[in-house]
């Protein structure tokens, strides 16, 4: 018996057009698949369209005996320009079969092998360009790969050189083709009458493409060459069935077809590949090691193409995650005698009905690829594993006879390009925090994706061209020797390199502070990320490594360095390097506390480096990282370098004050979101908790469990305090001199309010060095003595415990005359603050909400001041229509709803605003269940103060419980009589232990969100529940066995998100 295909209810006249953004349908189709399941139906353009989004159904619809390719709406408009070319022809058109049979040999292995030299020539142009531009050049990845692939297919298909790497202006054919493709996509979104009046440019572009193609054909006919290329195959090839050849119009159509289809997809593949490699350092290192092993330092040859299995696996895995064609269209074959086909055993497909495959979901099907289907894991695509995949699990080149005829061409071109690039360069992201954004046209590519390329092994750009074609052993270049010589004598200062790994900006601020101190001690310090030093750690000078750990993982801009370091096989690779390490970590992650800094320290020693001094470590949870760093550098680092004297007065920043002009500078690392609402959730007199809804910037996407990072502004009250202390008018302008070791903007005027409001942390506790500096500026001896006492015995009690900032101390001791530049040098850069997103994109992918507590408490430093949380107070003051700067930060780890939501119970535990991510979880479940999906049970344990005062989202959650979406269990700390006599959420967990145990036994996954105290309490209770179950069965467990069990479920079945 058949069942109706699920889907959203349409509106009169427009159907479901409001459900899908036709200019970028991928995110919307994925959202609908998450909502309705593996098959759903939309009414678009007056007709029903069925969408397929899992492998099981895909295996059925790619059966070529039942179904066949249908031309998509966009391709129908492209057909206006290239008619019945291979890509745009209907399967029953004679010219498709004719061209397909003639051209199949031209794309065979021998023919593709014969195109290698042309491909190598053009790929070498790209390598040379990047080498000459140097490591500071910001490479537009998609743009340069598009130039490469377009030039390659033009040379191989048309025997024409567009010379895209040597032109500022695009070749007329290329410009016409690009405009034609953009317009083809736009025409699907406009009514026919509008397209009629917007056809002149469209037709002109078609004419340019056809004229160029015609000229190429005529030139080859007039001046024939004995060359086994695609053009000769089309000119002289004969159909083995009919003996016919292609006419000139057919040749022109297919020539243009190859350029359109052949460059877009391969450029996207290469762009996505480099995003994946740069985000996955282990895979990056494995690719480079394979290239080094197979190719070495000699030229890349065609024989190498079949000897790079890991490169091939990476290409396959990239296409799995981001197929450059988002899907293809199918329908019942024209020669199929059945007018109705049943798929999935219950869904009816009628003749003429269009099915569209959603490859973004099919190729991430957890039933085939597991719970880590969203992750980049090339090993699953190695040949043995690849062969075991179901036939419908990987279809980025289309299906069967209508699949991409040029697949072997694209594969050879991509493999060659990767081999050449990885042989000669080390790469790093321009923005280590960049998260993938998609630009959608006929195909998809990364949007705003930039990277840097640095030559490996001291290859000199002048020698590079020779190395591309002639075997060469690595050697130190003359340029490199000149650089070293210059570094050793520049201004008679000694060289020092400071490398940092930092996500939040703290370690970068420490690196800049050390560089300023180094300058005052006779060193010229170069500051850069750890990733910039892959294979290039300088010897014979101090190298300082300043790095943090994030749950045991390196920061984004240190991941490649850590991977490179771990793979070093030469035990003496770092011989001659003198180094020191300072590390930051958080003790809340006990098992991985300071893992990365300690790993750096241990590995440098093992690889032959010499330690300058013992590692310095700081616990950010204790709140005095800057003080810890000052103590380490003064009492260990500088003394170990023999620097025993006082540093010169060079610690501050040179600042010019200009009160006559106005200008502001905006931060560029985040984008503007619009505030839709900002609601108070708690009763009067209770600690303030709020819920803010935002309209996200275009292209910004998130998943349930992700974070929204906010770049706040300092409270205006605190800015006024600084202006008053510094005796500055409100419109004062500051110019920080270029060359200062600072993260602040340099070289142009900025308003003092901008600098103090947007760029620095005004509330950061003072360090001992800060306090000593303030004391030195004081001309009142009594006040100087008191200030110095704060840096001495009173530091922990009076400064650290009370979180007294440099501003607090300067206000308290007005005789201190600290320079503004010295004050700014004490302040770390403004950090982003992360908040768990409390909504689901299934509700509306363009909107997100966050739920937060506003920190406004009496200051511990003085009784008449308030301590104001920077971000929470900033957010509390914004209102509807305001714009704030945000970015999405993906959750690292397993803090997302289960992949198999039908069979995996969810056990969620939270307290306070830790409820935020779970509101998103439950909102998503509500949408899915109401769409007809049958989900496993969900339990939500909530800790709060009182049911009438801070029971967040009470009406919403009560309705969801009534609808069977979730089962709620509360713990009220001030009304325990209403929560089974318990005050804390972990105690409510114990009260419901049988329910919890049953859900976990059925494959359930546990999620915890709240303070570190909540995290610790829940972890202890989960162990107790586990132990109690075995005790009840007479099978007691030892403490070690219980701990072993708990460690075994972490990340896989137990995910926590704790905050200070």
In whole angstroms, give the CA distance from residue 894 to residue 911: 20
Look up 698 and say whether it is catalytic.
no
Cβ atoms of 668 and 430 closer than 8 Å = no
Closest C-alpha among 586, 536, 543 to residue 565 = 536
Q: Which of 51, 67, 397, 409 is catalytic?
A: 397
Longest dimension (CA), the chain: 106
Nearest to 764 by CA among 630, 598, 914: 630
Task: Locate all alpha helices (DSSP H) within 835-891, ordered by sequence.
Answer: 870-876
Half-sphere exposure of 773 (CA within 13 A, CB side): 24
| H/E segment holding residue 664 | none
**Distance, CA of 999 to CA of 1022 (rounded, Å):** 13
Which DSSP letter does residue 635 get? Answer: I
Using left for φ > 0, alpha for ψ between -120 and 50, and beta otherwise, residue 1034 falls in: left
Which of the following is catalytic: 35, 146, 265, 417? 265
Q: Within its chain, how far is the Cα of 685 from the centroid?
A: 41
Alpha carbon distance, N-terminus to C-terminus of the chain: 56
Q: Which of 156, 314, 404, 778 is catalytic?
A: 404
- Distance CA(372)–CA(341), nearest Å, equals 34
User: Cβ atoms within 10 A of the Cβ of 696, count?
Assistant: 22
Cβ count near 265 (within 10 Å): 26
CA 421 remoteness from chain centre? 22
Classified as helix, coil or strand, 1008 is strand
Closest-CA residue to 67 (of 349, 345, 344, 346): 349
How many other C-beta atoms lie within 10 A of the C-beta of residue 105?
13
Rounded-to-integer distance, Cα 289 and Cα 309, Å: 12
Give the Cα separation of 986 and 909 in Å (integer).
8
Distance of alpha carbon 277 from alpha carbon 285, whole angstroms: 8
404 is catalytic: yes
Q: DSSP 3-state assignment of 393?
A: coil
Q: What is the DSSP string of 507-572?
A: HHHHHHHHHHHHHTTTEEEEEEEGGGGTT-PPSSSEEEEEEE-BTTB--GGGHHHHHHHHH---TT
Residues marked as catalytic: 265, 397, 404
């Amino acid at each position: 018996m058949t069942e109706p295909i699920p889907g959203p209810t349409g509106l009169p006249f427009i159907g479901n057009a409001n459900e899908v953004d036709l200019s970028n349908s991928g995110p919307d189709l994925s959202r609908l698949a998450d909502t309705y399941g593996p098959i759903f139906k939309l009414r678009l353009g007056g007709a029903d369209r069925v969408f397929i989004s899992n492998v099981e159904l895909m295996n059925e619809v790619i059966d070529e005996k039942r179904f066949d390719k249908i031309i998509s709406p966009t391709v129908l408009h492209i057909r206006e320009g290239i008619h019945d070319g291979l890509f745009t022809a209907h399967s029953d058109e004679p010219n498709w079969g004719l061209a397909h049979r003639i051209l199949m040999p031209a794309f065979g292995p021998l023919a593709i092998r014969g195109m290698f030299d042309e491909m190598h020539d053009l790929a070498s142009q790209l390598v040379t360009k990047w080498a000459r531009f140097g490591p500071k050049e910001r490479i537009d990845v998609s743009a340069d790969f598009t130039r490469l692939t377009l030039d390659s297919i033009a040379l191989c298909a048309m025997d024409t050189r567009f010379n895209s790497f040597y032109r500022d202006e695009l070749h007329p054919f290329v410009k016409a083709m690009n405009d034609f493709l953009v317009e083809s996509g736009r025409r699907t979104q406009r009514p026919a009458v509008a397209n009629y009046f917007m056809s002149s440019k469209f037709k002109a572009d078609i004419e340019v493409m056809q004229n160029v193609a015609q000229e190429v054909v005529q030139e080859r006919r007039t001046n024939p060459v004995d060359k086994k290329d695609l053009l000769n195959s089309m000119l002289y090839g004969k159909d083995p069935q009919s003996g016919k050849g292609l006419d000139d119009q057919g040749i022109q159509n297919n020539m243009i077809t190859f350029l359109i289809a052949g460059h877009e997809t391969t450029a996207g593949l290469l762009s996505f590949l480099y995003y994946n490699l740069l985000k996955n350092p282990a895979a990056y290192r494995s690719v480079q090691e394979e290239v080094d092993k197979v190719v070495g330092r000699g030229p890349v040859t065609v024989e190498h193409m079949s000897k790079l299995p890991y490169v091939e696996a990476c290409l396959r895995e990239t296409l799995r995650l981001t197929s450059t064609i988002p899907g293809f269209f199918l329908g019942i074959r024209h020669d199929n005698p059945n007018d109705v086909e049943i798929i999935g055993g219950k869904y009816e497909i009628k003749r003429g009905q269009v099915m569209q495959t959603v490859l973004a979901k099919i190729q991430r099907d957890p039933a085939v690829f597991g719970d880590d289907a969203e992750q980049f894991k090339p090993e699953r695509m190695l040949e043995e594993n690849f062969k075991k995949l179901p036939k419908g699990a990987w279809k980025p080149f289309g299906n069967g006879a209508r699949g991409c005829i040029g697949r072997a061409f694209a594969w050879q071109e991509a493999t060659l390009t990767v081999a050449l690039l990885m042989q000669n360069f080390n790469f790093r992201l321009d923005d280590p925090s960049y998260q993938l954004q998609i630009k959608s046209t006929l195909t998809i590519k990364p949007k705003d994706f930039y990277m840097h390329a640095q030559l490996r092994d001291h290859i000199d750009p002048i020698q590079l061209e020779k190395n591309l074609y002639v075997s060469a052993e690595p050697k130190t270049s003359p340029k490199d020797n000149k650089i070293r010589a210059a570094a050793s004598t520049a201004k008679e200062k000694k060289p020092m390199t400071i490398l940092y790994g930092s996500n939040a900006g703290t370690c970068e601020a420490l690196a800049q502070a050390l560089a300023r101190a180094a300058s005052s001690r006779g060193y010229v310090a170069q500051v850069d990320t750890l990733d910039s030093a892959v294979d290039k750690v300088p010897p014979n000078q101090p190298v300082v490594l300043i790095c943090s750990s994030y749950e045991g993982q390196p920061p984004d801009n240190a991941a490649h360095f850590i991977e490179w370091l771990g793979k070093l096989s030469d035990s003496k690779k770092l011989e001659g390097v003198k180094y020191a390490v300072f590390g930051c970590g958080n003790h809340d992650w006990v098992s991985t506390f300071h893992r990365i800094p300690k790993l750096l320290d241990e590995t440098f020693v093992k690889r032959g480096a010499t330690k300058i001094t013992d590692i310095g470590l700081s616990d950010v949870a204790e709140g005095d990282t800057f003080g810890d760093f000052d103590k380490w550098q003064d009492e260990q680092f500088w003394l170990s370098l023999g620097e025993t004297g006082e540093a010169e007065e060079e610690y501050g920043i040179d600042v010019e004050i200009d009160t006559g002009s106005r200008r502001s500078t905006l931060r560029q690392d985040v984008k503007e979101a619009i505030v839709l609402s900002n609601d108070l959730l708690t009763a009067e007199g209770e600690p303030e908790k709020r819920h803010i809804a935002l309209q996200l910037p275009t292209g910004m996407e998130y998943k349930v469990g992700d974070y929204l990072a906010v770049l706040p502004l300092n409270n205006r009250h605190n800015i006024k305090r600084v202006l008053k202390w510094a005796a500055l008018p409100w419109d004062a302008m500051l110019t920080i001199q270029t060359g200062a070791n600072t993260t602040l903007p340099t070289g142009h005027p900025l308003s003092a309010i901008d600098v103090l409001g947007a760029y620095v942390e005004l509330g950061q506790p003072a360090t001992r060095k800060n306090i000593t500096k303030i004391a030195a500026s004081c001309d009142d001896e009594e006040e100087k003595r008191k200030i110095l006492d704060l840096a001495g015995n009173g530091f922990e009690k009076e400064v650290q415990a009370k979180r007294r900032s440099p501003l607090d101390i300067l206000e308290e001791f007005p005789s201190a005359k600290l320079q503004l530049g010295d004050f700014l040098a004490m302040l770390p850069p403004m950090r982003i603050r992360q908040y768990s997103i409390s909504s689901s994109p299934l509700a509306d992918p363009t909107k997100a909400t966050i739920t937060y507590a506003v920190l406004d408490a009496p200051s511990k430093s003085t009784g008449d001041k308030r301590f104001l949380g920077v971000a929470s107070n900033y957010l509390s003051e914004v209102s509807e229509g305001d714009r704030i700067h945000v970015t999405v930060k993906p959750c690292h780890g397993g803090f997302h709803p289960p992949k198999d939501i039908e069979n995996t119970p969810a056990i969620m535990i939270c307290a306070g605003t830790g409820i935020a991510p779970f509101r998103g979880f439950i909102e998503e479940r509500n949408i899915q269940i109401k769409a007809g999906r049958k989900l496993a049970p969900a339990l939500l344990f909530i800790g709060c103060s009182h049911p009438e005062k801070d029971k967040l989202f009470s009406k919403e959650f009560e309705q969801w419980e009534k609808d069977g979406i979730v089962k709620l269990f509360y713990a009220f700390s001030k009304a325990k009589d209403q929560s089974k006599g318990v005050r804390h959420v972990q105690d409510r967990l114990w009260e419901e232990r049988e329910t919890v145990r049953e859900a976990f036994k059925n494959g359930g996954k546990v999620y915890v969100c709240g303070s570190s105290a909540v995290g610790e309490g829940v972890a202890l209770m989960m162990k107790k529940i586990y132990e109690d179950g075995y005790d009840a069965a007479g099978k007691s467990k030892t403490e070690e066995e219980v701990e072993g069990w708990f460690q075994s479920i972490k990340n896989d079945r137990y995910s926590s998100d704790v905050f200070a």
